[in-house]
Structure 1
Amino acid sequence: MFFGKLLPRDTNFFTMFNQHADHIVVAAKAFSNLVANYSDVELREKYHREVNHAEGAADRVTHEVNKAIHKTFITPIDREQIHGLINTMDDVADLIQDSAETMALYDIHHMTDEIKRLTDLSVKCCERLRDAVYLLSKIAEATTADAALKTCDEIDKLESDADRVLRTAMSKLFREEPDVRELIKLKAIYELLETITDRCEDVANLIEGIILENS
């Protein structure tokens, strides 16, 4: 009985991964709504608060996972994989919040087509990330592992699309924007939004590694 108390029960890390992924999607969709309603100050502030709330919830899950790593005797996958995955996922939530904060701090006055396009790709990447994370608990099944790998490939393709949009956006910006201050502001926003998809790809790469090592 005493010995049993010395062996902490296995924490359901997959459930926490799923919760975090849900918060990422909520943050991404709130940011998308912020962009879509940017001209309405009240709605913009409403959706900014929703982004902050989702990011805060994601932070709490990250904290719980990192704490559980040290308290759990047997983990379902390697501890380094758990640590790397949850913290890279948290980077995605942080970047979404950073994008909203930067728009407010830089006093961006209007949304460009490029911001809208990069935002759309970011949301899609976050949704695919959630889909891949949801499959992690069942990767011992070959069909589920294959589905997760396919979802990771979709994230890679979306990230490549975002790269192309960023290159086109930068080219247009330096050719057509006469106001240097506006150029600097928009360049920072474009790069932040593209980095969201980069970090989603990093999550996809980690998931692929987990699948290959554990399925």
Structure 2
Amino acid sequence: MLFGKLLPREGNFFEMFNQHAARIVEAAHAFSRLVANYSDAGLRERYTREVDAAERAADRVTHEVNRLIHKTFITPIDRDQIHTLINTMDDVADLIQDSAETMSLYDLRQVNEEITRLTDLSVKCCERLQDAVGLIARLADASTAEAALKTCEEIDRLESDADRVMRSAMSKLFREEPDVREVLKLKAIYELLETVTDKCEDVANVIEGIVLENS
């Protein structure tokens, strides 16, 4: 067991989960400000850079977690759960960045009510994701485990709300927008924003599995 003795017994995974979740929320808030100030080209560029910076910071945490998995002899929770959790969280940050990039690449001229509503739901999902992630380290406490499950349920409800908003937005788009190019632009953006909430739900599902196995 000499090899095991040479490796750290536990990495600081919970702290890194929290760091990553904070970067997700930073990206979500920057994207929300981007949407709120979309008519101002200068602010639009500024908040796009902030989204990019938060996503890159989240990437660095992901790489460190994946590196540490292979260098740690005993992990605080199952290795597969650590790997799945951090990479699914990273997908959330990536999708927020993709949303900002798509709006720029497609030269979207203005945002509408549907984009604003989907953005608001995405931000709420990311904030609740951060809350749930922050509870993982204390799942041995029954009340904390219950709070984590309730938070995951809230994320599920927010995802369902976003799904309904997107269906309504798509219906309106195909009924009322005569410009095919605008249809394609808006459809892509709606789908990306709804997928942010889908991916938050995926994170919630991973957390629920961790709760059930470790509480």
SS at match of 2:76: coil
Listed as ranges, the gaps of 5+ residues in structure 1 are none
Matched residue, 1:191: 191
Deviation of 1:6 after TM superposition, in Å, equals: 1.3
Deviation of 1:115 after TM superposition, in Å, equals: 0.1
TM-score, normalised to structure 2, is 0.98
TM-score, normalised to structure 1, is 0.98
Letter matched to residue 98 of structure 2? D
SS at match of 2:94: helix
Matched residue, 1:174: 174
Letter matched to residue 143 of structure 1? S
- Work out the CA distance in 1 between the residues paired with 2:130 and 2:118: 18
- Among all aligned residue pairs of Structure 1 and Structure 2, give the percentage whose two residues are the same amino acid: 78
- Work out the CA distance in 1 between the residues paired with 2:171 and 2:6: 60
Letter matched to residue 202 of structure 1? D
Letter matched to residue 203 of structure 1? V
Deviation of 1:8 after TM superposition, in Å, equals: 1.9
Matched residue, 1:213: 213
Question: For the aligned residues, what is the CA RMSD?
Answer: 1.0
Matched residue, 1:146: 146
Render the CA deviation track for 1:40-89: whole Å, top value 9, x for unaligned: 00000000000000000000000000000000000000000000000000
- Work out the CA distance in 2 between the residues paired with 1:211 and 1:172: 40
Deviation of 1:7 after TM superposition, in Å, equals: 2.9
1:68 to 2:80 alignment? no
Q: Runs (4+) of structure 1 moved beyond 3 Å? A: 2-5
Change in Cα spacing, 1:211 to 1:42, as seen in structure 2 (3 Å) is: same
Deviation of 1:5 after TM superposition, in Å, equals: 5.3
Matched residue, 1:111: 111
SS at match of 2:22: helix
- Work out the CA distance in 1 between the residues paired with 2:4 and 2:144: 34
SS at match of 1:71: coil
Matched residue, 1:42: 42
Matched residue, 1:90: 90
Aligned length: 214
- Work out the CA distance in 2 between the residues paired with 1:114 and 1:3: 55
- Work out the CA distance in 1 between the residues paired with 2:104 and 2:48: 9
